[in-house]
Amino acid sequence: MLVGITGTPGTGKTAVTELLEKKRKYQVIHLNELIRKERLYSEMDRERDCVVADMDLVEKRVKELVNRIYPLTLIDSHLSHYIADTVIVLRTRPDILQERLSKRGYSVEKVEENLDAEALDVILVESVEWCGEVFEIDTTKGSVEDTLASVEEILESILRERDQEIQQRYSPGSVDWSDRFLD
């Protein structure tokens, strides 16, 4: 079974999946790394320092890599909601996301573009459109370990044929960053 962990850059997908990977309980595929390493893209956008993934190639490759000794395969990427039917969307309040992205040395334009996308719920809306099941975790407060505990709770619930309480606790729609656009 494939589960995506998606969200705007800087919301914590890689930090949390790297911790999860160490536990060796679930398979983790860091998709952005794979796309670059295996050149699963159709174009390079040098100006924006990103690639345009070829999603047909990506999906085919992910299916080949799924290792069935694990009960579940987690895909870490802001593109994972295009290939998994169940996704966890990580969210971060824009002022905190700004601190995280600025530390990466991104340009002001690139930071602002990502903050707007987060405030407009772009990835959440895409996930709801594309996926049958969507969970949402706010990573604004708390530590990476807290986010990991929430992710594990969701994954265990998925494997236990869904727990109503967990589904309600992480149901999408709990965050609202629209005050970014109020002045």
Ligand X SMILES: Nc1ncnc2c1ncn2[C@@H]1O[C@H](COP(=O)(O)OP(=O)(O)OP(=O)(O)O)[C@@H](O)[C@H]1O
Residues belonging to the binding site for ATP are 10, 12-14, 104
Q: Which stretch binds ligand X (CB under 6 A): 40-48, 54-62, 67-75, 141-149?
A: 141-149
Three-state DSSP class for residue 156: helix
Comparing CB distances to ligand X, the nearer of 65 and 144 is 144
Residue 25 phi, psi (nearest 5): -90, -35
Q: Which of 13, 81, 91, 93 binds ligand X (CB under 6 A)?
A: 13
String of DSSP letters for 54-79: -HHHHHHHHHHH--TTSS-EEEESTT
Strand 41-45 and strand 50-53: the pairing is antiparallel
CB of 7 to ligand X, least distance (A): 6
Q: Which of 81, 91, 93, 100 binds ligand X (CB under 6 A)?
A: 100
Q: Which of 73, 86, 127, 139 binds ligand X (CB under 6 A)?
A: 139
DSSP classification of residue 7: -
Q: Which two structure tokens, joined as six digits, stand for 103?
A: 């530390």
Q: Which of 20, 26, 78, 166 binds ligand X (CB under 6 A)?
A: 78
CB of 46 to ligand X, least distance (A): 18
Contact 138, 91 (CB under 8 A): yes
**Residues contacting 112, CB < 8 A, separation 6+:** none
CB of 78 to ligand X, least distance (A): 5
Q: Determine, following the binding rule CB under 6 A, whether residue 15 of this chain makes contact with ligand X.
A: yes
Question: Which residues here bind ligand X, judged by CB under 6 A?
Answer: 7, 9-16, 78, 100, 139, 142-144, 146-147
